[in-house]
Chains A and B, each alone.
Chain A
C-alpha cells in the first residue's frame, strides 16, 4: 500500500509542525498561562455557605419544574451572560433560593419575574416583553418570512415562464 504510506509520510511533517508550534507557544506564553491559572476570579465569593434551596431541588417535582423553567429565563446579575440556573455566583445562588422559596410558598412564576423586573428592569429577564420598543423584535420573523415568500414566488414565476 504505497499510496497510503505516502500519505502518512506527507502527514507527518504537518503533525510535527503543529507539535513544534504548541511547544513554542508553551515556551513563549507559558508564564502568561501560569498567571492565568493563578488568577483570582474577578468577582470574589463570600465565605458563607449557600442559601437553602440554592443547590437543593424542591420536594414537589411539579414545583421544581416550575422553578427550573423560571430560573432558566432569569439573568444572573453578577455574571450577566448566564441564567441563574447556570451560574455558580453566590448571588445567583441566592436568587435561586428566592425563586424556589417563593414557588414553594405558592407564588406564580410570572409574579416572581415581575417582582424582579420591578427592581432590576427588563434586563433581568431573558423573556422580552411585548412593548413598542420590542415590536420590531417580535415582528421581524413575520416580516422576514413574508419577504421570503415574496422572493420565492417571484423566482418560481420566472422559472415557469
Chain B
C-alpha cells in the first residue's frame, strides 16, 4: 500500500471536522433577502386598511418622490418597537406608507392609536399578496422605493434607533 493513501482517511476526517467547526462558528443568519431590489415594483392596488387613511397602489408610489414602505401588522410584536424610529423618519421629511398584512381594520386602528401613526396611506394586504410581490418574508420589513417605483432597499426586521440614519441615507439616495 502506498504511504500517502494511508493518510487519506485522516485528512478527509480533518477536512470534515474543519467544515463542521467553520459552520458552527459562523453566525446563524435566517434572513431571506428580497431579490426584487433594483427592480420595479409590480403593479398592485390595495384597499384602505383603516377608514382614516387612503389605500395604496403602485400609482401612489410613482409620484416622483421616494417613499418608505413599512410592512407591518397589529399582531406583530417587534412592529410596536419601531414606532419611535418611524416617527423620527417622518419628522425628517420621509413620506411613509404602510402595508398592513393579514389584519383587521379595528385592530389596525387600535395599533395606530397605541403606538403612533407615521403613515400617509395604509393598504390592507389580507392574503400577503403584495408581500409576495415585494419578496418580503415577514413583518416588520421596510422598503425604500424611488419616485419611479423601483425598489432600492429592503430593511428586514424592526428599524432600531441606531439604524435610522442608514435608512434615511438610503431614502435620500433614492431621490
Contacts and interface: CB of A to CB of B under 8 A. Distances in A.
Chains A and B form a bound pair = yes
A36 interface: no
Interface stretch (B56-64, B129-137, B160-168): B129-137
A121 B101 contact: no
B117 interface: no
Would you call the interface of chain B mostly helix, strand, loop, or mixed?
A: loop
Contacts of B128: 90-91, 94-95
| Chain A at the B interface: SS class | helix
Interface stretch (B18-26, B33-41, B81-89, B142-150): B33-41
B72 to A, nearest CB: 12
Nearest to B128: A94
Contacts, number: 65
Interface residues of A, number: 24
Interface string A23-59: 0000000000000000000011111100100000000
B75 A119 contact: no
B129 A98 contact: yes
Interface in B89-135: 101-104, 107, 126-129, 131-135
B127 A119 contact: no
A91 B33 CA distance: 16
B90 to A, nearest CB: 25
Contacts of B52: none
Contact of B138 (A78, A97, A98, A116): A78
A121 B34 CA distance: 7
Interface in A52-98: 77-78, 80, 90-91, 94-95, 97-98
A43 B77 CA distance: 9
B73 interface: yes
Interface residues of B, number: 26
Of B76, B127, B138, most buried by chain A (CB within 10 Å of CB) is B127
B32 A51 contact: no
B11 to A, nearest CB: 15
A45 B129 CA distance: 17
Given A98-B129, A121-B32, A77 B137 contact: yes
Contacts of B76: 44
Interface string A106-133: 0000000000111111011000000000
A51 B127 contact: yes
Given A90-B102, A119-B34, A119-B36, A46 B137 contact: no
B85 to A, nearest CB: 20
7 tightest A-B CB contacts, nearest first: A119-B135, A46-B102, A77-B137, A94-B128, A51-B127, A48-B102, A46-B75
7 contacts: A47-B102, A48-B103, A77-B32, A91-B137, A94-B132, A118-B36, A120-B32
Given A47-B107, A98-B129, A118-B36, 15 more contacts: A43-B138, A46-B73, A46-B102, A47-B104, A48-B126, A51-B127, A77-B137, A78-B137, A91-B128, A94-B129, A95-B132, A98-B127, A119-B35, A119-B132, A119-B133
